[in-house]
Amino acid sequence: MKGRRCHWVRSPLGLKYRLDYSGPVPWNPRKNVVLRIVPQFFNYARLLPLMECHMIADSDIEPETASSSAATPTMEDLYNRGRLLPLYLCPFETFLRADSHADYPMAFVVVMRFTGQLKKQEFLTALKGSMDRHRILQCVVGKGKKDRLSWIHKKDLEVEVVWLRDGETIQCRPEFDDSKEAGVRVWVDQGEEQVEVTFYFNHVSVDGVGAHIFIGDLFAIYANEVNGPGTAQLGELDPSLLKNRGYRQRYANLENTHSRTAWGSIKYGIKTALLARSQPLGIPKPDDSAPQSSIPYLRVFEETLSCDEHKKLRDVAIQFGATVNDILSAESFKLFCDWNLQSKPRSHKRAFRIVLPTNLRGRGDDLMPAVNMTSYTFLIRKPDQCNDRITLLKSVREETAKIKNKALGTEFIEAVSRAASTRWVLPLATKLRARLGTIVLTNVGDPTRRYTCRIPRKKGALIAGNLELDACYGCPPLRKHTRATIAITTYKRKLTVSLRCDPSLYKQEHAEKMLRMFMDGLRSWIE
């Protein structure tokens, strides 16, 4: 028996549509999540046999009644609609969880440095308020619906907050126990004039963009607690969009003109994750003549290009028809080549490979709470292709343009989504612990532009209550066999390069030297 129903939706451009659905089962708008993401992913021609789409004017839609718009729903109401939680783990979350190791957990660092004195009680209140808005961070992983691994909300789950004393180093247990622990830990180091807040996020729960959305809401609530309501404005959230993240990852590759079959995608994933033999970063020989200090686990080394240097770098990129990202990628390959010439690893003839995290959020996801919506794409170069900077930049520019234009950056997430439907593939891929890349390189951009809230600014600097943001930086997770990660952030028109090295293989002097070589390479473009 066929059913026919009518449903109203709004496209990302603000156009209102009437969807007339004809199918073998009665139409249920609550359960049919696919229609919510039709304007983003699906070719309308594929859906014509199922539905007819008519654009209408606003006047043709019945206005909402006063009772429906009078009461503003609370976060509890929004999350309780449609029995959102427990929520199934999506394929990429399953992959990251399986790929996590006790010594190399899938967790990343974000550091916020402020001028001012952090008020403890107001900060704790803001932290609780932001956790209530972004509840994936307040969830544990357990058996949910149909006995599948799911995010299960624990309202009484406390976030670990450590208040450091003067000069005290962060003592951190690397791994997250996501069966009983919140998805973030916090350390606060208060000095006389500055305060440094370090966040440690479980990457299974959120990605870098989601982390900054969470942090933005935290300091927006903090500003309201310190200076009174209305100082900062929190953005609207639609938790129901969390249901779409699995569909978005599964169908992210529809626009890829080279989309593979199911088995072709799995073979691509096996080739990428299991059979890839990229060249690792070399390990310097120990120097007994000079004392060397070990690296604390969460230590992030950073250096900043001034506003003038950053502008010159952008001008150079424009001159070559490239982007700053292309220069950063090209300079990373040059760093690998120069670094490994000194250490000469046994696999020195293999190709270098950069892992580039890819944001899968679209225009329709602006209201989505903090969650994991990322994938990976890769750039590969042989050592003999890294000698000339100009030639290297041009080849990187052409490849990144191809990745963007043909949506090739979605191939890895498609392979993971396909593999997740076959039980043995993901466990095998993560058990072998293959080296995904030589290094992980991510460009966050301006983290404060990721915020969905509005916080006052003064001469470009973020003002959260009695705090003025001076710097924001961090680094992606350290994966086993991938010995370093680099992150790029911009703030107040300055560009900051952050580096994190495997503390079991490198000393502090090695990390400082590696960062100095990278920065010298960037400055060589503008000299």
Q: Which residue has the higher pLDDT, 71 or 505?
A: 505
Distance of CA 110 to the CA centre of its chain: 12
Q: What is the pLDDT of residue 92?
A: 87
Least trusted range by pLDDT, from 244-258, 312-326, 460-474:
244-258
Phi-psi region of 269 (alpha: psi -120 to 50; beta: other; left: phi over 0): alpha
Q: Which residues contact 146 (CB under 8 A, 6 or more apart)?
A: none
**What angle is formed at CA 273 by the lines to CA 268 and CA 277, rounded to 5 degrees?**
110
Q: What is the pLDDT of residue 247?
A: 66
- What's the CA gap between 44 and 417, in Å, rounded? 23
Strand-pair category, 51-55 with 457-458: unpaired
Residue whose token pair is 């929004």: 78
- Exposure b/e, 33-44, CB count within 10 A at least 16 = b: eebbbbbbbeee
Cis peptide bond prior to 86, omega within 30° of 0: yes
Percentage of the residues of the chain whose pLDDT score is greater than 70: 75
- What's the CA gap between 2 and 482, in Å, rounded? 54
Q: What is the pLDDT of residue 287?
A: 64
pLDDT at 419 over 80: no
Say whether 415 sits in a helix, a strand or coil.
Answer: helix
Can you state the angle between helices 324-343 and 389-405, rounded to 10 degrees?
A: 130
- The model's confidence at residue 295, banded by pLDDT at 50, 70 and 90, is confident
Both tokens of residue 144?
């949910």
Interval 486-512: pLDDT, tens: 999 999 999 999 999 999 999 999 999
pLDDT at 280 over 90: no
Interval 198-243: pLDDT, tens: 999 999 999 999 999 999 999 999 999 999 999 999 999 999 889 8
Q: Which residue has the higher pLDDT, 376 or 455?
A: 455
Q: What is the pLDDT of residue 49?
A: 32
Strands (E), 387-525: 439-445, 457-458, 461-464, 467-475, 484-491, 494-501
DSSP letter string, 344-376 = --TTTTSPEEEEEEEE---GGGTTPPS---EEE
Give first-to-last CA distance, the chain, whole Å.
Answer: 73
Interval 154-198: pLDDT, tens: 988 999 999 998 778 888 888 999 999 999 999 999 988 999 999
Tell me if 83-247 shares its fold with 250-446+476-524. yes
**If residue 407 lies in a helix (H) or strand (E), which one and from where to where?**
none
Q: Where are the domains of the chain?
A: 3-71, 83-247, 250-446+476-524
Phi, psi angles (nearest 5°) of residue 176: -100, 135
Q: What is the pLDDT of residue 54?
A: 37
Mean pLDDT of the chain: 81
Average pLDDT (438-454) is: 93
Q: Which residue has the higher pLDDT, 111 or 146?
A: 111
- What's the CA gap between 206 and 93, in Å, rounded? 9
Instruction: Please determine, looking at this structure, whether the domain spanning 250-446+476-524 carries the CATH number 3.40.50.970.
Output: no
Q: What is the pLDDT of residue 216?
A: 96
- What's the CA gap between 87 and 79, in Å, rounded? 11
pLDDT at 9 over 70: no
Q: Which residue has the higher pLDDT, 6 or 479?
A: 479
Least trusted range by pLDDT, from 41-45, 120-124, 146-150, 302-306:
41-45
**If residue 116 lies in a helix (H) or strand (E), which one and from where to where?**
none
- The model's confidence at residue 457, banded by pLDDT at 50, 70 and 90, is very high
Least trusted range by pLDDT, from 122-136, 275-289, 322-336, 432-446:
275-289
Q: What is the pLDDT of residue 35?
A: 39
| Closest among 382, 397, 284, 267 to 333, alpha carbons compared | 382
Q: Which residue has the higher pLDDT, 280 or 305?
A: 305
CB 19 within 8 A of CB 36: no
Q: What is the pLDDT of residue 398?
A: 92
Rounded to 10 degrees, what is the CA torsion of 231, 236, 239, 240?
A: 170
Interval 87-108: pLDDT, tens: 988 888 888 888 888 889 999 9
- The model's confidence at residue 406, banded by pLDDT at 50, 70 and 90, is low
At the top level of CATH, which class does the domain 83-247 belong to?
Answer: alpha beta
